[in-house]
A and B are shown apart, each in its own frame.
Chain A
Amino acid sequence: MSTAVESPPPVVEAPVRRAEALLRARELGIVVAIVVVFVLTTLHNHAFAKSGSLQQLLTGASIIALLAVGETLVIITRNVDLSVGSVVGLSAYLVGDLFVKHPGMPVILGFVVGTGIGLGIGLVNGLITTVTRVPSLVVTLAALYIVRGIDALIVHGRRIDPISVPKSYSVVGYKAILGVPWIAIIVTLIVVAVGYAMRSFRSSRELYAIGSNPEAATLAGIPAGRRVVTAFAISGALAGLSGALFLAEYATVDATAGNGYELSVIAAVVVGGVAIFGGSGTVIGAALGALLLNTINQALVASRISAFWDQAIAGGLLLGTIAFDRWLSLRIARSLRSAEGARRDV
């Protein structure tokens, strides 16, 4: 008995290790794609490799990447959060408004308030979804409208101008240390922290279980409801924080801030290899997906391809990525199955 425990049969472990390796390969694939796009564009236009434009790549991807982290947690549980764009808008304006009314406010409070606003909305989304068992797509679609409407009522045609945002706050949006923008450092730290948690913590592994098979997860004693609420709360909180960062980056906020972000975020998550029906994918992949999409957009600009082509190419690439991903996963499944078969034959 004890020997069996000490040396678990290698048959079980081999596919696991292999699957893990493939997951890592997935992220590697995105990195390779980013590098290829980058090198090709630089060959075409040497200015693309300048540090200013590199910073632009990171800064431009930061907010979508941060939103993609929260969205990944929600999508892994087989749900979706469409309200993130509206939350960004509301949080950005309210934090800006706070600085207008209390100019001497400590800067850190801006981020705290932004995160808090998002956390509240995320909790409401999560609670409605789990208590009423209404599909999250519907709940968060309604939240998208309600939050955007409330935002527009509060904004009421006004605007936050750069002049009312404290210098020490907007520094986060444009200053860089060692060539890396502050905002990118913050987002990277969060991505790494959440990525680590998603690998190592029991409660976060349970999110995958819920997404793979909700009934089985509940039967296995996983508090699915609580976990899903937590996922929504984190997604909301990160969206609120993204709003605060939006204010720091652009320093101009009106009622349209964050409009339509939800679909860009889902696009980044899908490109990053997160299965839209839950159960698999990584936070780091999703963040890299956001970086890839932004790199492609910037590359189109730098290649002096008419800006009119941007969206069309982005859409084509998105479709290509999804299709390629499907082909890849089918191939992997087939090779895993034949490997399994070969072992069984022995």
Chain B
Amino acid sequence: MSDTATRAPAPAPLPAKDGRSPMPLTGLIRWETALVGLLVATLVWASSESATFLNTTTFFYIGLNMGEIAIMALPLMLIVMTGEIDLSVASMLGLSGSVLGYLFQSGWSIYPAIVAALLVGAAGGALNGFLVTRLSLPSIAVTIGTLTLFRGLAEVILGTSTVGGYPLSLVKVGVEPIPHTHLSYSIGIFIVLAVVCGVVLHLTPLGRSIVAVGLQSETAHFSGIRVNRIKFGLYVLSGVVSAFAGILFTLKNSSARYDAGTGLELTVVAIVLFGGVSIFGGRGTVLGVVLAVAIVGCVNQSLTQLNEDPQVQKIVAGVLLLVSVILPNSRVALQRIRARTRRRTG
């Protein structure tokens, strides 16, 4: 990929057939620029609608509301980059919270319980990875199965009871910002993870391999990339990170419930796609996902402050998602329609 780019710098980068420009970076920069523009527009609109929007409390709450979703979006993004998907993330959030709550209730101290919850996450991710890579089953079907399985196990473990009473030093992640800042702990952790993810994906051989797997799995395989090992590793990572999000979620609400985060999986997928990650794999940036998180967080928060029906958030999210995928494709689509009408008339 980089080879052709250095050897033959195209004079005028024509868009390729699928709307992707031949030099991947130019296309990417354009999409992220659009997201930055959208973010600025959202901020301007929100602060003009509500005078109290632009203040630190607002941003603390945005972070608090988006934290777990944002954290789960990172490993999912990497999985989507390889051309697979993981729909079990939200169920893993519920399962790890339930394990944490159950163990804590049975007298474990909090830190071993947290470690156990993370191990459950690793095991769940390994199960996904095993089924997808070893048995080469379609990941969408597998993870719909584990979505049900993990949620079901959470229900078996905790039933309808809720477990609270965690140490105050940890529960403060849901009430206080990180000292000397206005960031919630969860979003702070997200930023750190996003930087790590960005460096790994965009600056290391491993990251290039992930992109290569997503672009052409077979070519990657014959180039000596261990496709299955990478995919397996990413599923384990996704399990652990989702379990970690579940721990944060439990501590934030100071209660563990088996149905925590039900249905969030599609929200996380929507954010990843809105961030410009191609569902077919091989294309996307961590920056795009971070911007998507920021935009969705700001829109939701401002709609809440305007006392809009919470359902409006859903409509806005859907429209944003739709527009974000249609716009990059629209030029190609228009060209095709024009060509067709020309063929008809001419």
Q: Mark B305-344, 1 if CB is under 8 A from A, else 0.
A: 0000101111111110110011001101100010000000
Chain A positions 166 through 192: 1 when the CB is less than 8 Å from some CB of chain B, otherwise 0: 000000000000000000000000000
Asked if A318 lies at the interface with its beta carbon under 8 angstroms from chain B, I say yes
* In-complex Cβ contact of B155 among A143, A150, A312 (8 A): A312
Interface: B280 (CB within 8 A): yes
Residues on A with beta carbons closer than 8 Å to the beta carbon of B147: 263, 315
Known: A146-B315, A311-B152. 17 other contacts (CB 8 A): A131-B333, A131-B337, A135-B279, A145-B317, A146-B314, A149-B315, A149-B316, A152-B309, A152-B314, A153-B315, A259-B263, A311-B151, A312-B148, A312-B149, A318-B145, A322-B145, A326-B137
Q: Is A314 an interface residue (CB 8 A)?
A: yes
- Complex: how many Å from CA A144 to CA B159? 29
Would A142 and B318 be within 8 Å (CB), given that A132-B333, A134-B325, A312-B153 are in contact? Answer: yes
Interface locus among B23-31, B181-189, B265-273: B265-273
* Contact yes or no, B155 A308, CB < 8 A: yes
Question: How far is it, in angstroms, between the C-alpha of A259 and the C-alpha of B263 when the chains are bound?
Answer: 9
Partner of B152, one of A145, A260, A270, A310: A310
A276 within 8 A of partner (CB): yes
Q: Which listed residue, B146, B309, B337, touches A153 by the CB 8 Å rule? A: B309
A21 in the interface (beta carbon within 8 A): no
Q: Which single residue of chain A is at the shortest CB-CB distance from B308? A: A153
Residues of chain A touching chain B, judged by Cβ–Cβ distance below 8 Å, are 80, 82, 128, 131-135, 137-139, 141-146, 148-150, 152-153, 156, 255, 259-260, 263, 266-267, 270, 276-277, 306, 308-316, 318-319, 322-323, 326
Q: Is the CB of B314 within 8 A of A145?
A: yes
Cα A266 to Cα B138 with chains together (Å): 13
Query: How far apart sit A267 and B87, CA to CA, in the bound complex (Å)?
Result: 13
A interface secondary structure, majority: helix
List of B residues within 8 angstroms of A156 by Cβ: 309
* CB-contact partner of B131 in A135, A150, A319, under 8 A: A319
| B314 A315 Cβ-Cβ under 8 A | no
A267 touches B148 (CB 8 A): yes
Q: Which residues of B contact A311 (CB under 8 A)?
A: 148-149, 151-152, 155
Using CB atoms, name the residue of chain A closest to B262: A260
Which of B137, B156, B280 meets A312, CB within 8 Å? B156
Q: How far is the CB of A265 from chain B (nearest CB, A)?
A: 10
Nearest B residue (CB) for A270: B141
Q: Is the Cβ of A319 less than 8 Å from the Cβ of B149?
A: yes
Task: Give A309's nearest chain B residue, CB to CB.
Answer: B156
Measured between alpha carbons, how far is A185 from B314 in the docked complex, in Å?
36
Among residues of B, the one whose C-beta sits closest to the C-beta of A320 is B145
The 10 closest A-B pairs by CB, nearest first: A312-B152, A315-B149, A311-B152, A315-B148, A145-B318, A149-B314, A149-B315, A152-B311, A146-B318, A142-B322
Task: Indicate if the CB atoms of B318 and A149 lie closer than 8 Å.
Answer: yes
Query: Do B150 and A146 touch (CB < 8 A)?
Result: no
Binary A-proximity of B127-158 (CB < 8 A = 1, otherwise 0): 00001000111101110111111111101100
Binary interface profile of B, 246-271, with partner A (CB < 8 Å = 1, else 0)?
00000000000000001100100110
Contacts of A145 in B (CB 8 A): 266, 270, 314-315, 317-318, 321
B86-142 interface with A by 8 A CB criterion: 87, 131, 135-138, 140-142
Assess A319 versus B142: contact at CB under 8 Å? Given A141-B269, A310-B152, A312-B155: yes
Contact in complex: A138, B273 (CB < 8 Å): yes
Q: Which chain A residues lie closer than 8 Å to B318 at the CB level?
A: 141-146, 149
| Interface size grouping (class) on chain B | 35 or more
Whole-angstrom distance between the Cβ of B41 and the nearest chain A Cβ: 20
Q: List the B residue with the shortest CB-CB distance to A262.
A: B266
Cβ proximity bits B221-241 to A, threshold 8 Å, 1 near / 0 not: 000000000000000000000
* B→A interface (CB under 8 Å): 18, 87, 131, 135-138, 140-142, 144-153, 155-156, 159, 262-263, 266, 269-270, 273, 279-280, 309, 311-319, 321-322, 325-326, 329-330, 332-333, 337
A139 to chain B: closest residue by CB:
B322
Q: List 11 A-B contacts (CB under 8 A).
A: A134-B325, A134-B329, A141-B266, A149-B314, A266-B140, A276-B141, A310-B152, A312-B156, A315-B146, A322-B145, A326-B135
Q: Which of these, B138, B155, B270, B325, contacts A276 with CB under 8 Å?
A: B138
The residue in chain A whose Cβ has the minimal distance to the Cβ of B270 is A141
Which of A132, A152, A319 makes the CB contact (< 8 A) with B145?
A: A319
Please tell me which one of the listed residues A128, A138, A148, A314 contacts residue B314 in the complex, with CB atoms under 8 A apart.
A148
* Complex: chain A residue closest to B312, CB-CB: A149
Q: Is A133 a contact partner of B152 (Cβ separation < 8 A)? A: no
Cα distance A135–B317 in the bound complex, in angstroms: 17
Bound together, the chains give a CA A311 to CA B145 distance in angstroms of: 10
Residue of B nearest to A255 (CB): B311
Contact among B137, B270, B330 for A132, CB-based, below 8 A: B330
Pairwise interchain contact A132-B326, C-beta atoms closer than 8 A? yes
Query: A276-B138, A308-B159 are contacts. A142–B319 as well, Cβ < 8 Å?
Result: yes
Determine if A315 and B145 form an interchain contact, defined as CB atoms under 8 angstroms apart. Answer: yes
Q: Is the CB of B325 within 8 A of A138?
A: yes
What residues on A are CB-neighbors of B270 within 8 Å? 141-142, 145
Q: If A141-B270, A276-B140 touch, does A314 touch B148 (CB 8 Å cutoff)?
A: yes
Picked from A133, A266, A322, the residue with its CB within 8 Å of the CB of B332 is: A133
A133 to B332, CA, bound (A): 9
Q: Please, which residues of chain B bring their CB within 8 A of the CB of A141? A: 266, 269-270, 273, 318, 321
Question: Do A315 and B135 have beta carbons less than 8 Å apart?
Answer: no
Q: Which residue of A lies closest to B87 (CB)?
A: A263
Known: A134-B325, A149-B312, A153-B309. A267 touches B263 (CB 8 A): no
Q: Which residue on A lies nearest to B313, using beta carbons? A: A149
Nearest residue in A to B148 (C-beta to C-beta)?
A: A315
Is A134 a contact of B326 with CB atoms below 8 Å?
yes
* B279-A137 in contact (CB<8A): yes
Which residues from A are CB-within-8-Å of B329? 132-134
Can you name the residue of chain A whose Cβ is closest to the Cβ of B278?
Answer: A135
Contact A315 B131 (CB under 8 A): no
Give A150 to B315 CA distance when docked, in angstroms.
7
Q: In the complex, A26→B33 CA distance in Å?
A: 51
Report the Cα distance A80→B195, complex, angstroms. 34
Q: Which of B145, B155, B159, B266 has the most CB of A within 10 A?
A: B145
